[in-house]
């Protein structure tokens, strides 16, 4: 059931440099996140983005293969579970291996995805904060980070790292979420550039990609 919570007030708008290339798109989600993520990927199917899609979706280990298969079917894209360091290819989807975190790093100047072991105290696996912060370090202003439905505040610290690096953060509108607290926390902190439905998020990605391609 969709939550009817209204959007909390957003903080001051953060600006991203006009014409900044879109070199990576990172998604963070938890409770109910597979449905909006699948909707976005379905709307982007067949469209060239020239950017890897990085996904941190809180998933019990036994369901990781099911999630990967669903994303592959909905998107029509290659889905990589980064069990070993893997070069980031445009238009491919990258996930963490089961019960691991997804980390982005640069090796000889080239971005790679790798799964890293969580610590015993890590509550969320994979960590949205870790994905966003590492992707922000690798891509800086060229990163678009998207916070979808979920409980808790995983993604808040990562969203701050993205904005501090010059990248852009958008959020799923809380009233369209199965669990609104993850995007609501980012909105309340003034880190979200816009709060939108999954369909609008897909359109935003395409509009930004097309605007850059024709700049």
Catalytic residue among 30, 75, 134, 192: 30
φ and ψ of 66, to 5 deg: -65, -45
Q: Which residues contact 108 (CB under 8 A, 6 or more apart)?
A: none
Residue 30 bears catalytic tag: yes
State the Cα–Cα distance between residues 92 and 77, nearest whole angstrom: 6
pLDDT per residue over 57-78, tens digit each? 999 999 999 999 999 999 999 9
Q: What is the DSSP string of 146-176?
A: EE-S-SS-TTHHHHHHHHHTT-EEEEE-GGG
Split at pLDDT 50, 70, 90, the class of 19 is low
Catalytic residue among 75, 154, 192, 204: 154
Q: What average pLDDT is seen over the chain?
A: 90
φ and ψ of 170, to 5 deg: -125, 160
Say if residues 75 and 43 touch (Cβ distance below 8 Å).
Answer: no
Say if residues 206 and 47 touch (Cβ distance below 8 Å).
Answer: yes
Superfamily of domain 24-213: Methylesterase CheB, C-terminal domain (3.40.50.180)
pLDDT per residue over 150-192, tens digit each? 999 999 999 999 999 999 999 999 999 999 999 999 999 999 9
Q: Which stretch of DSSP H or E encloses residue 212?
A: helix 198-213
Supply the pLDDT for residue 210.
81
Split at pLDDT 50, 70, 90, the class of 126 is very high
Residue 214 bears catalytic tag: no
pLDDT per residue over 87-102, tens digit each? 999 999 999 999 999 9
What are 184's two structure tokens?
A: 């609501």
Supply the pLDDT for residue 8.
36
Q: Decide which of 2 and 135 is more confident.
A: 135
Predicted model pTM: 0.90
Q: Where are the beta strands (DSSP E) in 13-92?
A: 24-29, 53-57, 79-81, 86-87
Tell the residue number behind the tokens 């894209």, with chain if given. Answer: 77
Is the pLDDT at 144 greater than 70? The verdict is yes
């Amino acid at each position: 059931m969709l939550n009817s919570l209204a959007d909390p007030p957003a903080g001051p708008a953060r600006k991203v440099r006009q014409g900044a290339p879109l070199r990576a798109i990172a998604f963070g989600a938890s409770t109910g996140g597979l449905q909006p993520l699948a909707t976005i990927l379905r709307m982007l199917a067949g469209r060239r983005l020239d950017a890897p899609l990085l996904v941190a979706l809180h998933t019990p280990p036994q369901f990781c293969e099911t999630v990967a298969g669903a994303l592959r079917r909905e998107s029509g894209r290659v889905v990589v579970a980064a069990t070993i360091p893997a070069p980031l290819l445009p238009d491919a989807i990258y996930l963490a291996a089961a019960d691991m975190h997804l980390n982005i790093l640069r090796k000889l100047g080239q971005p790679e995805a790798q799964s890293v072991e969580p610590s015993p105290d890590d509550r969320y696996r994979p960590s949205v904060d870790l994905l966003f912060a590492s992707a922000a370090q690798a891509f800086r202003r060229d990163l678009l980070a998207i916070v979808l439905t979920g409980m808790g505040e995983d993604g808040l610290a990562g969203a701050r790292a993205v904005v501090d690096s010059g990248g852009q953060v958008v959020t799923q509108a809380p009233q369209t979420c199965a669990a609104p607290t993850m995007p609501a926390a980012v909105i309340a902190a003034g880190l979200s550039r816009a709060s939108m439905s999954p369909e609008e998020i897909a359109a935003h990605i395409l509009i930004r990609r097309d605007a850059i391609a024709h700049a």
